[in-house]
Copies of this chain bind each other. A is one copy, B any other.
Amino acid sequence: MGATLAELAVRFGCVLQGDPAVRVSRVATLQNAEPDTLTFLANAKYSSHLANTRAGAVVLDPRLADSCPVPALLSSNPYATYARIAAELHPLPAIAAGRHPQSVVDPAAQVDPTASIGPNAVIEADVRIGPRAVIGPGCVVMRGAAVGADTRLAANVTLCAGVTVGQRCLLHPGVVVGADGFGLAPEAGKWVKVPQTGSVRIGDDVEIGANTTIDRGAIEDTVLEEGVKLDNQIQVGHNVRIGAHTAIAGGTGISGSATIGKRCLIAGQVGIAGHLSICDDVVVTGKTMVSSSIDKPGMYSGSFSADEAATFRRNAARFRQLDALARRLQRLERGGTHAADPAGDEQP
């Protein structure tokens, strides 16, 4: 159980400072670390905790080596190195290959014998489940869908007909991939449903958070490229394309046919309007509304911070007069005298 620092240093390419025989068996925070734990320092904000840590070892930047009171594994990217070591110290529980007797697998499905099909999972006809894939309890994989090797569907995940998920993906509970997009044609005050005949294609190494939904395309497919990381409760509309290695935080909604570039960072509760495109390497801060295309990398914002309610309301009331205020300012600048203000322009 656990590993010595010598083993970890070799395995993860770190310079070891301290006793190579020290053994760590689990991870901890700097503040609450015990001698058998490994911890890390990646955020300067927490560096005050370094001096008093009781950890068995700390993964940290070489420049901080001198301030570390316990053994250290030095890495130029301590957070990523910590992540890899943590995965080794806390391995996922082994999953037994095979089908739970209370799973429902259609005879016309192709399930790799090394895959695991959990209790109450439903695998419909023409589905393909790859080697070592895990279909957790209560998951439903509809006809013609495909799940790649080493991909895990945690529990109560629904993959609708024909969607494909790549290798080494992780879909958390409640995820829905491939439900119909919101396609409606107006006709005489009512709506005609527009059949959603496309599907969803998800690349390798994609992670999708709990209760996130990804709609199938209207005609062509909705696409998540490799390495995309989605947090919980994100809504991805039909025919959206999300570029490789883009990460999106919880509660964000992406309207139909939006295209998002590679390596973007979209914070939580962002709204992205439909039929626009965002280029590679864009950062969008929390709760921002993106209503037109962004073609220059950089950071974009659009949300206001909380203020005391009375203050905020007073300013918000003025916002409703802002165009009028600007016109009044212009008049003054032009030397105009102060004529009677139009109603509503002033608030005593």
Which residues in A have some Cβ–Cβ distance to B below 8 Å? 26-29, 32, 42, 45, 77, 79-80, 82-84, 86-87, 90, 93, 100, 102, 104, 118-120, 122, 136-138, 140, 142-143, 154-156, 158, 160-161, 170, 172-174, 176, 179-180, 182-187, 189-195, 197, 207, 209-211, 213, 215, 219-220, 227, 229, 231-233, 235, 237, 245, 247, 249-251, 253, 255, 263, 268-269, 271, 273, 275, 283-292, 294, 298-323, 325-326, 328-330, 332-335, 338, 346-347
CB of A173 within 8 A of CB of B182, answer no
CA distance A119 to B330 in the complex (A): 70
- When distances are taken between beta carbons in the complex, the residues of chain B under 8 Å from A104 are 100, 102, 119-120, 137
CB of B250 within 8 A of CB of A235, answer yes
CB of A271 within 8 A of CB of B288, answer no
Q: Return A65 CB to nearest CB of chain B, in Å.
A: 20
CA distance A180 to B86 in the complex (A): 14
Assuming the contacts A172-B179, A187-B77, asked whether A193 and B305 have C-beta atoms less than 8 A apart, the reply is no
- When distances are taken between beta carbons in the complex, the residues of chain B under 8 Å from A346 are 330
- When distances are taken between beta carbons in the complex, the residues of chain B under 8 Å from A289 are 269, 286-287, 303-306
10 nearest interchain CB pairs? A158-B173, A179-B210, A80-B185, A299-B309, A333-B338, A80-B187, A172-B179, A79-B185, A176-B210, A302-B306
